[in-house]
Structure 1
Amino acid sequence: MSGSLLNYTWQAVVIYFLLAPSHGPCLLAAEPIRCSPCTAEKLLGCPAVPTGCVEVARERVCGCCTTCALQKGDLCGLYTAGCGSNLRCYPREGDSRPLHSLTRGQAICMEPAEVARIQDSQTLENKGPTENDNTEDTSVYRDPHSLHNRLMPPLGHVTREKPFDPTNNVDAQESTKAKNNAFRKKAVEQGPCHIELSRELDKIAKSQQKMGEKFNRFHLPNCDRHGFYRAKQCEASLDGERGKCWCVYPWNGKSIPGSPEVRGDPECQQYLALQEQDQTR
């Protein structure tokens, strides 16, 4: 899967939370995902701020309490304290699993200039091929606004072949057809989790517009780099509480029978192993 699709996947949601300054509002008013308000009851339940903090910051995502801000170079993520002022929580350069890092607190607090440098390098890396590139290396993930378009080449997609040779016209057409068929097959095979992710992203804004503050939890599929499901899936939360997690089959996203649904690690690998043992009997 191309780096641009990985980049789009996690940015579509967590960028709302992680790239805003720690001392600002949880989300800008114009953004489609809005946090629940911090009620007096929630604020009364906040623990005391630890002594000796270099800087105090509000909890990340939609938390209402304050805690010690993380400093430059500290590990950070969706469920950690926020980075200090003028710092951003961002995956390491070259991280092949940015969403994994952000949800598990393995990203890094860094300065905005460093974030911009990494984003620029990703942009250069994900640019389209040159005229000398082979058609098979051409990426279908070009439209920054649509995961569906990223998963399938546009209709009428024209591949760059060698200059037209009348004596080799039939062979050229067959070669182009074979390449396009293989290319489309590969894109489809990569996409079951990404297709669901695209649908869920489309639903989020509509659901919040309809339900308002009652819309506090949702599930965004956790996809691997090939577009299949990771065994561990978790519910996202806008009310400051950690959502439930459960186990699914990587190839179809359906829950594994007998596996738990918990607010923590359901240890999915053991349930996958049990299923594999049952199938071999």
Structure 2
Amino acid sequence: CPTCALTRGAACGVATARCGRGLSCRAPPGEPRPLHALTRGRGACMPLPENTTPGVEATDAKGSAAPETVSPESAEMTQEQLLGSSHLMAPSGDDLPILWNAISNYQSAKALEVAEATTGKRPCQRELYSVLERLAQEQQKAGDRIYTFYLPNCSKDGFYYSKQCETSLDGEAGLCWCVYPWNGKKIPGSVEVRGDPGCHQYFH
């Protein structure tokens, strides 16, 4: 049943049916490329964290009332959380499920005015929200088709992972490069490759 909700522990991704109530499609713990895992259907339906708010989930098509308060934990949204909501799966015929999932999650969080995620203390999250704002605007353009784009890969503390990659929806691996975790700037002399750029060599 392609439209039935998936059960706990079931494999999921951007092109699968949504997870059941109270579950969210997430990349495996420790997965270095959560976005890549979700695009390949290597996620799993897991219970939602207790501190997840209905507004941040944005799972109900009817809409959910925003909570009175937003905890710091729910405000610290990572790239995985923004891109991994199984309940925002696009129709199977949609070419841009990842991008639109991210935008839908972003707009939901923005509606809650999650200022904590956009403070100067979290440079990667701030850039991520800025990029999603731009993509949300581009989505509204008639006939706009985006197949390659960049979303900052942020750690849970709001800084950058040293390895950053493009997201490609045309089946070809995107370019990857190395950055400084504290500001996201590309490391001078580092290469751009479709694979592992070996970022660890710059931090020993």
> TM-score by structure 2 length?
0.54
Q: CA deviation at 1:87?
A: 7.4
* Cα distance in 1 between the residues matched to 2:179 and 2:138: 24
Instruction: Tell me which of 134, 139, 144 is aligned to 1:212.
Output: 144
Establish whether residue 260 from structure 1 lines up as the match of residue 188 from structure 2: no
Report the counterpart of residue 161 of structure 1 in structure 2: none
Partner secondary structure for residue 177 of structure 2: strand
Give yes or no for contact 2:123–2:159 (8 Å, CA) kept in 1.
yes
Question: What residue ranges of structure 1 are gaps of 5+ in the alignment?
Answer: 1-20, 23-71, 128-137, 154-183, 274-281
Q: Give 3-state SS (helix, strand or coil) of 2:149's partner.
A: strand
Q: Is the alpha carbon distance of 1:125 and 1:252 closer, same or farther for their aligned partners in structure 2, counting shifts above 3 Å?
A: same
* Contact 1:91/1:98 (<8 A) preserved: no
Q: 1:232 to 1:261 in 2, by over 3 A?
A: same
* Pair 258,211 (structure 1): closer, same or farther in 2 beyond 3 Å: farther
Among 75, 88, 103, the alignment partner of 1:141 is: 75
Answer with 194-203 or 142-151: which moved more.
142-151
- Map 1:31-42 to 2 at 5 A: none
How far is 1:101 from its partner? 3.7
Q: Please give the alpha-carbon distance, in whole angstroms, between the structure 2 residues aligned to 1:253 and 1:147.
A: 27
Which has the higher Rg, Structure 1 or Structure 2?
Answer: 1
Instruction: State the secondary structure of the residue aligned to 2:114.
Output: helix
Structure-1 separation of matches of 2:9 and 2:179: 34
Rounded to whole Å, the distance in 1 between the matches of 2:34 and 2:41 is: 5
Which amino acid is the alignment partner of residue 141 of structure 1? A
Which residue does 1:118 correspond to in 2?
47
The one-letter code sitting in structure 2 at the alignment partner of 1:232 is K
The whole-number CA distance in structure 1 between the counterparts of 2:130 and 2:174 is 20
The answer on whether the counterparts of 2:13 and 2:43 sit within 8 Å (CA) in structure 1 is no
Structure 2, unaligned runs of 5 or more: 54-70, 77-106
Could you say what the CA RMSD is over the residues aligned between the two structures, in angstroms?
Answer: 4.4
Q: Does the CA contact (< 8 Å) of 1:148 and 1:195 recur in 2?
A: no
- 1:249: Cα distance to partner? 0.3
Report how many aligned residue pairs link the two structures. 148
Corresponding residue for residue 36 of structure 2: 103
Q: Structure 1 residues 234 and 87 mapped into 2: Cα distance closer, same or farther (>3 Å)?
A: same
2: CA distance between counterparts of 1:261 and 1:148? 37
Cα 1:226–1:107, aligned 2, differ >3 Å: closer, same or farther?
farther
Structure having the larger proportion of residues in helix: 1
